[in-house]
């Protein structure tokens, strides 16, 4: 029956070890809580960054569409003088052909 009990010094040693272990666990919990807080803040920052990138991509896509529209508009503006020149040349050639035809017809009729 004497073996069921521990001595006071054994109890004090056990209590000291338990206090030491409890402090180690408390310190580890605090360290892990700090690391979790840092990770959570990093995740928040990454989410903000992802949202900003998404907005930037949308803006770039819209700018690309606008540039494409402006390119088409510019192409139309630049092609107008060429179309006018072609119409003018067609008219001149037609007038000359008509005059030559009329002169030839007039020559045959005399």
pLDDT of residue 12: 95
* Whole-number Å distance between alpha carbons of 64 and 34: 45
Domain assignment present for residue 101? The answer is no
The count of structural domains within the chain is 1
Domain assignment present for residue 110? The answer is no
> Which residues are within 8 A (CB) of 62 and not within 5 positions of it... i.e. 6 or more apart?
none
Please report which residue ranges of 1-109 form alpha helices under DSSP H.
Answer: 8-109
pLDDT of residue 28: 98
Residue 109, token pair as written in the block:
């009729």
Q: How high is the mean pLDDT in each 10-residue block of the chain (110 residues)?
A: 80 96 98 98 97 96 93 84 82 87 78
Q: Which domain holds residue 46?
A: 2-80
DSSP-based three-state secondary structure for 6: coil
């Amino acid at each position: 029956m004497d073996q069921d009990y521990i001595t006071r010094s054994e109890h004090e040693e056990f209590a000291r070890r338990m206090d030491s272990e409890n402090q180690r666990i408390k310190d580890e919990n605090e360290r892990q809580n700090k690391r979790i807080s840092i990770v959570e803040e990093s995740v928040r920052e990454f989410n903000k960054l992802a949202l900003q990138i998404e907005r930037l991509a949308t803006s770039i896509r819209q700018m690309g569409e606008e540039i494409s529209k402006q390119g088409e508009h510019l192409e139309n503006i630049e092609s107008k003088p060429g179309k006018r020149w072609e119409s003018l040349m067609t008219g001149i050639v037609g007038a000359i052909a008509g005059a030559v035809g009329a002169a030839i017809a007039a020559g045959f009729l005399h």
